Structure 1
Amino acid sequence: MLNKFPLWKNLMVAMILVVAAVYALPNLYGEDFAVQVSATRTTTVDSQVMGRVEDTLADLDIAPKSIVMEDNQLLVRLSTDSEQLRAREAILRELGSDYVVALNLAAATPDWLAALGATPMKLGLDLRGGVHFLMEVDMNEAMRKILGQMRDTVRTELREERIRYTAVERDGNAINVTLRTADDYQAAESYLDGLYEGYVLLENEAARELTLRMTDAKVLETQDYAISQNVTILRNRVNELGVAEPLVQRQGADRIVVQLPGVQDTARAKEILGATATLEFRMVDNENSVREAEMGRVPFGSELYPNRNGGNVLLTDDVILTGDHIVNANSGFDENQRPQVNISLDGTGGEKMSLATRDNVGNPMATLFIEFKATGERDKEDNIIFERKEEVINVATIQSRLGSSFRITGLDSVQEAQNLALLLRAGALIAPIQIVEERTVGPSLGQENINMGMQAIIWGFVLVLAFMVMYYKKFGMVANLALGSNLILIVGVMSMIPGATLTLPGMAGIVLTVGMAVDANVLIFERIREELKAKRSPQQAIHHGYDSALSTIADANVTTLIAAIILFAIGTGPIKGFAVTLAIGIVTSMFTAIVGTRAVVNAIWGGKRIEKLSV
């Protein structure tokens, strides 16, 4: 029988539309202003913390919509943005720096939808839905770290050349080398002269001292490198967080702007982005007494560090390896089901680890964890003062010569192992950073532009609906039903795709899709009219109209889809958003126009004896 779909095909169309509608529903519920409280490495969020937050809000006469604790986090939903800001400041004062207190926009999705995995689609910052961070880089620490690496390099080079020295130390933007004998001085002068680009060799033969001073051009280059490297590493960390269409860019001499559209867990984003942590691997000094060092008599060439498990550990000054050589890090469990981090090194790091452990089998090696935290104070030059926290997280005896893969144990929790692995995998920041400004961002193009964009979609939709009804009568109403279904499908699919983000250009893509979606129906309906004029019966006209238009519709939409794919491949930011919306709209419009309208037309007119079609 002509123009009759089998039951399974009708059920398939209905099921696709129902699923799309369910996943599109969360977008109707909007978002709540919220404050998110997360624990740092040394604390936990429990019922006692929740009680303190509730008491703090009661003192401010703020009635929260809800306070929920899950996954070691506390989410406080509030009614207005002013309550959100007041609550954050008060909670931060109450809990102190042991907790991460961040602004958030929490989806107001009902529990039954959330249980199905339905979430609202992500919105770009231009459509209100993200967090803006302004970060400041500590340039003093960047220079200290880079010159510290230079000092270690000079020591290694002189040892390999068998040139004896009494001291190699950093002094400001220079490295001072003191030689043992006049012969050593002559050999070092000959070897170091012109060896390092960007450094000038200054001589003091009377004191047997050579100074490698960094040139002004090298200082600027190093500072620029520190900023650029931090930007790259922050991008890696944002990618690890799974943020769609982020913005990470340099602003001025020592600041970085980070915008995270559609972020739900801003507390974790703030902790990961702001964390400055790295590792150093050093040998334990077994030749000197820890007790003597604790009394203030630290031997030359060694340093005393606190042990996380209690007490102190005496380590040598020489750094075997830093976190810069780590290429991959994953959290896991050891044979006793305790958390650990499995680390892979690059080629250079593997060689350094192999050389250092070759002659130290049976000796203990320590893993030194270094973290920087902002004190909130500034120095005379208006730079943020950071507190450097160092602790030994693991001391293990070297059982055999190590290579490019090994593991770190002695971690307190699975969350700590995951965070440490993420930081090491995404890269250790060259210099510590402080979030100096944090805010939720409204539409960057202004609410008026957003309203005009919505009006464009609505008016375009209404005019198309009116035209189709007037020109194609009852068949035009079927096309309008398909057009409405197409919008539901677009929103539903974008809500299901984790990386899809709706931006203002994306709204333009929807407007374009509204016009393109009826093109297929226009082709089909015109073919049906031609078949009727050729004296075919209504059933044959419907059948041949859909079949004849199919190849033309496919050709037109495939070429547009190719253009959308190219835009997505070579475009960035807003261009990608437009391409994603356009591509999804093309696919869904083909489905609704070819399959959806055919199902409705078949249900109404198919298989019946009719004399005339309202088309």
Structure 2
Amino acid sequence: MLQIDRWKRVLIFGICLLGLLYALPNAFYSRVEAHNDAVAQIEATGVETPELVAARDGWPSWMPSNLVNLGLDLRGGAHLLGEVQVEQVYKSRMDALWPELRRALAAERDTVGAVRRVEAADGLLTIEIGNPDQMARATEIARGFSTPITTLTGAGQQSLAISAQGARMTIQLSDAEKALTDDRTIQQSLEIVRRRVDEVGTREPTIMRQGEDRILIQVPGIGSAAELKELIGTTAQLTFNPVLGNTSDPATQPGAGQFLAPSVDNPGLFYILEGSPVVTGEDLVDAMPGSDENGQPSVNFRFNPTGARAFGAYTSANIGQPFAIVLDNEVISAPVIRSAITTGSGQISGSMNFDEANQLSILLRAGALPAEMEFLEERTVGPELGQDSIDAGKVAASVGFVAVIALMILSYGRFGLFATVALAMNMVLLFAILSLIGATLTLPGIAGIVLTIGMAVDANVLVFERIREELRTARGPARAIELGYEKAMSAIVDANITTLIVAAILFVLGSGPVKGFAVTLTIGIVTSVFTALFVTRLLTVMWFERARPKKIEV
């Protein structure tokens, strides 16, 4: 008997109504987007301006406000491909090792003699001792700073490679440690870049690793690649270094373990600084823009307990001595320590406006990149080009939709009309699910939607052709419809499962745009099967119950 239980009807109608409700915000994209932005800004700042209130009230708060995010090629934005200079981390590791090793060797001065650092290539730490015949002891002390590699590929190896010749000992990272450091550096860079981009409040950025030492960054909605490059490319390495002297000669050669840094406030002045910082930006827990005692823009920062203790101990022991606040190898300020600073808070002020102070606070909050990033590729996609892509996608989808509707109605008459309604509901459910999961729609995603429109009626075609065959056996129309759905089920399931498998492979093995195509294709398959097997069937049953035809034509 051709019938559908009442609870099933309620469930099907309920799913369709929910889909319509959650897809509706996409029909008012600009208004809902402004509403979401206003709500987020009010929650973040606690300030309600008339403009923000008007934008917030532009969409009912009780209505869903999830939107399908637009990708870079649809919204416009910036594209960068950066290469992380991992070799800089090797140098930093050796610079950080030198003070500790120097103290350990100095404790046995009577044995190894005087110790000094010799100039060497980046990533190498070369040390000269006074008693060459005690090099074995010096090497033993240095090996105490080496640790075993715990990864499977580096099992049995040490973190440091140490060699000695005459009175000189050379230390560098071992190959296994370099591989481990490279991976850790890229992962840390990915996280810091993601935090910096998130601080700006952009929507659905794509930040992913490419190859061994490259990072792909795509940020929709940002003004230009130069703006994104300025935000991400700055290392924002904040350090507090002891001042050893100053000079006006930029050609001055600092000693081993020291470096020359220009002053921002006094052009032409250069400071000679100790290479090992007292505190670094890694000890920062917060940084906010503010004003100094003269009302000039500044950045207020706060250390964690570890940084506060180290900074307090240094300032207590060096009252009357200058120290430098260094940002990206430039001295922002070099004040003299008047008293011990034990509160763990400080302030950076100088030649900056309020926008620069806000930008600097964002960089400091996000953390310092472990190494600089060299940009190999940069591209800006204008919003006009993105709008052209959207318009082209709409035209393609509309043409496909109209063509499928015409074909179905001409081929199957009233049943084709039922399939058309189901196809429209399929699109509604597709956008509803994309909105719920916060998916990002790109041009390949639009291609997946257009392909879904063409594939969505496949199940209906199988059912209708099967009903035709059943009608030829002189069965009644009710029985023919029922058998049509039952006997077409296996073919429908087989066809869609194979497509789902292909979509899963594309998602697992593909990158950005391919993943977007796979997501829309997968969701489209699920919604098309639901609408074909349940929505179309429910419409058919409701019509049949009202009309009670003695004969039907498919």
Q: Does 1:459 align with 2:419?
A: no
SS at match of 1:610: coil
Q: By how many angstroms is 1:533 displaced? A: 1.6
TM-score by length of 1: 0.56
Deviation, structure 1 residue 321: 11
For the pair 1:232 / 2:187, whether they are aligned, the reply is yes
Q: Aligned equivalents of 1:394 and 1:111: distance in 2? A: 50
Preserved CA contact (<8 Å) 1:151 1:168:
no
Provide the rounded CA distance (Å) in 1 between the counterparts of 2:10 and 2:432: 18
Report the secondary structure of 2:457's partner residue. helix
Partner of 1:468: 408
Give 1:507 deviation, angstroms.
1.2
Other-structure match for 2:552:
613
Partner SS for 1:120: coil
* 1:246 aligned residue (202, 206, 212): 206
User: One-letter code of the match for 1:478?
Assistant: F
* Mapped pair 1:603 → 2:534: no
Distance of 1:31 and 1:572 partners within structure 2:
29
Q: Of residues 409, 412, 423 in structure 2, which corresponds to 1:483?
A: 423
Q: Check the 8 A contact 1:279/1:367 in 2, yes or no.
A: no
- State whether structure 2 residue 94 is matched by structure 1 residue 147: yes
The yes-or-no answer on 1:72 pairing with 2:41 is: no
Q: What CA distance in whole angstroms lies between the structure 2 residues aligned with 1:135 and 1:73? A: 37
Match of 2:459 in 1: 520
What residue ranges of structure 1 are gaps of 5+ in the alignment?
A: 39-64, 79-107, 283-289, 302-315, 330-339, 344-352, 354-363, 375-383, 397-408, 413-418
Residue-by-residue CA offset, 1:422-464 (whole Å, 9 max, x unaligned): 957xxx6323569999997337987666544433222111111
Cα pair 1:517 1:590 within 8 Å, conserved? yes
Offset of residue 558 of structure 1: 1.5
> Contact 2:82 / 2:376 at 8 angstroms: preserved in 1?
yes
Relative distance call for 1:525 and 1:531 in structure 2 (3 A) is same
Distance 1:201 1:73 in 2: 63
- SS in structure 1 of the partner of residue 551 of structure 2: coil
Structure 2 counterpart of 1:124 = 71
Name the SS of the counterpart of 1:30 in structure 2.
helix
Instruction: Measure, in 2, the Cα distance between the counterparts of 1:212 and 1:258.
Output: 38
Helix, strand or coil for the counterpart of 1:259? strand
Higher helix share: 2
The offset of 1:472, in angstroms, is 0.6
Q: Is the 8 A contact 2:236 2:364 kept in 1?
A: no
Per-residue deviation, residues 3-39 of structure 1 (Å, max 9, x unmatched): 333333233222222222222222233348x99xx9x
Task: Name the counterpart of 2:520.
Answer: 581
Measure the CA separation in 2 of the matches of 1:489 and 1:465.
18
> What is the CA-CA distance between 1:131 and the residue it aligns to?
4.4
- The structure-2 alpha-carbon separation of the partners of 1:544 and 1:25, relative to structure 1 and needing over 3 Å to count, comes to same
- What is the aligned partner in structure 2 of residue 555 from structure 1? 494
Q: For 1:71, what is the secondary structure of its paired residue?
A: helix
Q: Which amino acid aligns with 1:521?
A: N
Q: What does residue 15 of structure 2 align with? A: 16
Displacement of 1:608:
5.0
Task: Give the letter for the 2:16 counterpart.
Answer: L
Instruction: Give the superposition deviation at 1:124.
Output: 1.7
Residue number in structure 2 paired with 1:259: 218
Whole-Å separation in 2 of the counterparts to 1:578 and 1:230: 31
Residue by residue, what CA displacement relative to the aligned partner does 1:315-337 show, whole Å, maximum 9, x if unpaired?
Answer: x998999999x9xx9xxxxxxxx
Amino acid at match of 2:217: V
Q: For residues 586 and 225 of structure 1, do their structure 2 counterparts lie closer, same or farther at Cα, with a shift above 3 Å needed?
A: same
Identity %: 34
Give the structure-2-normalised TM-score. 0.61
Matches within 5 A, 1:156-305: 158=105, 164=112, 166-169=114-117, 171=119, 173=121, 175=125, 177=127, 179=129, 184=134, 188=138, 210=168, 212=170, 231-237=186-192, 246-248=206-208, 258-261=217-220
Counterpart of 1:585 in structure 2: which amino acid?
Answer: G
Q: Partner residue of 2:476?
A: 537
Taking a change above 3 Å as real, the CA distance of residues 179 and 389 of structure 1, as seen in their structure-2 partners, is same
User: How many aligned residue pairs are there?
Assistant: 454
1:505 CA drift (Å): 1.2
Larger strand proportion of the pair? 1
The aligned amino acid for 1:602 is V
Equivalent residue number for residue 495 of structure 1: 435
- Find the residue that maps to 1:29 and give its secondary structure: helix
Matched AA of 2:13: A
- For 2:5, the aligned partner's letter is P
Q: Among 561, 567, 575, which residue is 2:506 paired with?
A: 567
Superposed CA RMSD: 6.1
Structure 2 unaligned runs (5+)?
Answer: 144-157, 247-256, 258-273, 286-301, 315-323, 348-361
Residue 601 of structure 1: how far off its partner (Å):
1.3
